[in-house]
Structure 1
Amino acid sequence: MDCSFTLEHIKLNTWEFKTHINKVTFAPLVVSTLFILLTSLLAHCARRVVQKVVKEPFVRLLFEEAIAAAELCGCCFELIVVADNFGVATYAIFLFALTIWWSLNWGDATACPYTHIEDVIEGKGDIRKALLKTWAELTGGILVFKYVQMYWALEISETHKDKAFEDCKADLQVPVIYGAVVEGIATCLCRLASRGLGDLNPRFATAIDSFIGTSLVVAAFDYSGGYFNPVLATSLKAGCEGHTMLEHAVVYWIGACAGSLLSVYVYKLPAIQKFVRGSSVANGDSIWAEKED
């Protein structure tokens, strides 16, 4: 028997087996990545068209809010696929990168209703405009599912098989009150971090904010799903099996909005303001944007 031939044959079969495994494993991830890139590109183009065509600032902002919400929800529909098939760690990497992209490209749009409530509380906006922005965000977030469904129906990868028309399941894994508390506390921490970073203005503030937000999402993932955004939660999970619409509203609307409002008042506490003001004038290391080594 030709041992050298047998050895080469075994190596060839092993290489082909590994190649097959890699294709089976990573091809669906490539498909998901391409969908997320396509969604972001379409949203970017739509945003540019609106900025050129719509002249009235507030009407333009309404369109931008709808586009931002559609982009957010469209990408997060696919992130559910990523999390289910490739784990929370892969999901977190995608979310971290996307959060940075959104921060750099959305401009004044937030795709999140409680930021408008904060503006009303702080005298930076009125209720009518806050409601209109929320309506625009809900419109974009809900309508985008048809776009996602069309893509899933193509079943380009195994991870999309039967996905377009399957019954969804709620992510809430704890009692409703606990879920509302999780969403509320995490939202409060997210907003406190964003406010602090906005005032302190450190280098890499966007990346730091994204890291904090992503970490909190991962921490809450197995409890409430970690949405921290009523529009996102409504687009992805309203009406899903596992909770009623009232329970959904309590967790993802009341819980998140309560956490956001709490952050407004907590941030004004003397201890926090002393820390922020002290950090902004103290000599420090080069993490701060306007400081020298």
Structure 2
Amino acid sequence: MAGLNLVVGFLVSVIGFSQLIRWIGKKFLPGRIYRCTVSEFASTLQLCATYMEIRMLVEIGMWGGGFGPDVVSTLLFLLFLAHGFTFNGASANPSVSLQEFLLNDSSFIDTGLKLVVQFGGIEAARLLTRQYWRLELTQFHTIQMMMLDDCSSSLQTTVAQGIFVEALSAFCYHIILLRFQKTRMIYRAPLLALTVTLLAYAGGPYTAGYFNPVLAYALTFSCPGKTWQEYSIVYIAGALIGMLLALFLYNGNIPRLFQKNFLYNQKSKFRTPKAKTSKKVQSPVSKKVQSAPKVAEKPAETKGKKAAKEKSS
């Protein structure tokens, strides 16, 4: 139990350290530069460092401390719930950054800068986590340091099945992200955290269910068992395929590439004005006004008749 407490303490410390980086960057940098650099760097550092610790529990926790999938899934849900409330608009995911670019929500320069900064955050997370592991505060970390140079690959299936699992996971994640992108954070963050937890649990035996090239690059690209090209096809191409399918299915098009909607008919928001009729329709008020003088003429006619009778008499 003491080992698990130290793991949780490390997760909380990383989140707090990343928040400090965000606070400093937000205070001294313009908004656009902050969003493209410091925010993405801190979020990627937070995501990768904490996920490396969670992955260590997945590989060692069962036989090293008796922590099964229930403990790991609970920590994963709470971790991504914290990410949802602390990322401050950052994605720490190249697929999401490219999705924003294809939706015309981000420029080419901003997107390219985000991608570069994200991979810088990976290296910072690796350095931070490995320095923490070298302290060997728990038996988990001691075993992890012994296995560090001979890590096990997360890709436990064929390349074809792996790309299918990653593409399907990315599709599910991005379609939910698009559907609830304008929902309040208090509802969106738990929903996305639950989605990530379920997808990671379902894809764990095959590809570990990363559906994020940043996580895959940080955790498994350097492990033996598969080539770098195979990892790229599964974890990078698979995530991009899933993202493109979700974007096309949700919008019916890809706004950055073409405007025509291939799936949905967009009804016009403005009604066409009806043609004016040639006949003028008189209102009841005007009819009363026109009929009023006729009623007033009757007394005048009766007076004229009386005067004529008096003269004749």
**Which TM-score band (shorter chain)?**
0.7 to 0.9
Q: Is the 8 A contact 1:172 1:179 kept in 2?
A: yes
CA distance in structure 2 between the partners assigned to 1:203 and 1:65 by the alignment: 21
CA distance in structure 1 between the partners assigned to 2:116 and 2:39 by the alignment: 12
CA distance in structure 2 between the partners assigned to 1:76 and 1:200 by the alignment: 26
Report the counterpart of residue 27 of structure 2 in structure 1: 52
Report the counterpart of residue 261 of structure 1 in structure 2: 244
Report the counterpart of residue 55 of structure 2 in structure 1: 80
CA change 1:211–1:151 in 2 (3 A) is: same
Residue 189 (1) aligns with residue 172 (2): yes
Report the counterpart of residue 149 of structure 1 in structure 2: 130
Greater displacement, 68-77 / 203-212: 203-212
What are the ranges of 5 or more consecutive residues in structure 1 without an aligned counterpart? 1-25, 275-293
3-state secondary structure, aligned to 2:111: helix
Report the counterpart of residue 4 of structure 1 in structure 2: none
Selected match of 1:211 from 162, 177, 194: 194
Selected match of 1:115 from 81, 92, 96: 96
Greater displacement, 220-229 / 101-110: 101-110
- CA deviation after TM superposition for structure 1 residue 96, in Å: 0.8
Report the counterpart of residue 80 of structure 2 in structure 1: 99
- CA deviation after TM superposition for structure 1 residue 167, in Å: 2.0
- CA deviation after TM superposition for structure 1 residue 56, in Å: 5.2
Q: Is the 8 A contact 1:137 1:231 kept in 2?
A: yes
CA change 1:201–1:39 in 2 (3 A) is: closer
CA distance in structure 2 between the partners assigned to 1:193 and 1:231 by the alignment: 20
Q: Is the 8 A contact 2:26 2:34 kept in 1?
A: no
Greater displacement, 48-57 / 137-146: 48-57
- CA deviation after TM superposition for structure 1 residue 58, in Å: 2.4
3-state secondary structure, aligned to 1:161: helix
Residue 65 (1) aligns with residue 40 (2): yes
CA distance in structure 1 between the partners assigned to 2:184 and 2:130 by the alignment: 40
CA distance in structure 2 between the partners assigned to 1:51 and 1:201 by the alignment: 22
CA distance in structure 2 between the partners assigned to 1:55 and 1:108 by the alignment: 15
Residue 251 (1) aligns with residue 234 (2): yes
- Name the amino acid aligned to 1:36: L
In our comparison, the structure showing a higher alpha carbon Rg is: 2
3-state secondary structure, aligned to 1:124: coil
CA distance in structure 2 between the partners assigned to 1:128 and 1:65 by the alignment: 14
Q: Is the 8 A contact 1:230 1:256 kept in 2?
A: yes
Report the counterpart of residue 268 of structure 2 in structure 1: none
CA change 1:60–1:190 in 2 (3 A) is: closer
TM-score scaled to structure 2, two decimals? Answer: 0.74
Identity over aligned pairs, percent: 24
- Name the amino acid aligned to 1:42: F
- Name the amino acid aligned to 1:72: L
- Name the amino acid aligned to 1:27: A
- CA deviation after TM superposition for structure 1 residue 208, in Å: 1.9
Selected match of 1:42 from 17, 23, 35: 17
Report the counterpart of residue 105 of structure 2 in structure 1: 124
Q: Deviations over 1:158-195 (max 9, x none)?
A: 11114234322211111012101100111110111122
- CA deviation after TM superposition for structure 1 residue 88, in Å: 2.1
- CA deviation after TM superposition for structure 1 residue 119, in Å: 1.9
CA change 1:228–1:51 in 2 (3 A) is: same
Superposed CA RMSD in Å reads: 2.1
TM-score scaled to structure 1, two decimals? Answer: 0.79
Q: Which runs of 4+ in 1 moved over 4 A?
A: 199-203
3-state secondary structure, aligned to 1:163: helix
Q: Is the 8 A contact 2:163 2:235 kept in 1?
A: yes
CA change 1:174–1:153 in 2 (3 A) is: same
3-state secondary structure, aligned to 1:107: coil
Selected match of 2:217 from 228, 231, 234: 234
CA change 1:77–1:89 in 2 (3 A) is: same
- CA deviation after TM superposition for structure 1 residue 129, in Å: 2.2
Q: Is the 8 A contact 1:28 1:158 kept in 2?
A: yes
Q: Is the 8 A contact 2:168 2:242 kept in 1?
A: yes
Q: Mapping of 1:273-284 within 5 angstroms?
A: none
3-state secondary structure, aligned to 1:73: helix
CA distance in structure 2 between the partners assigned to 1:106 and 1:203 by the alignment: 13
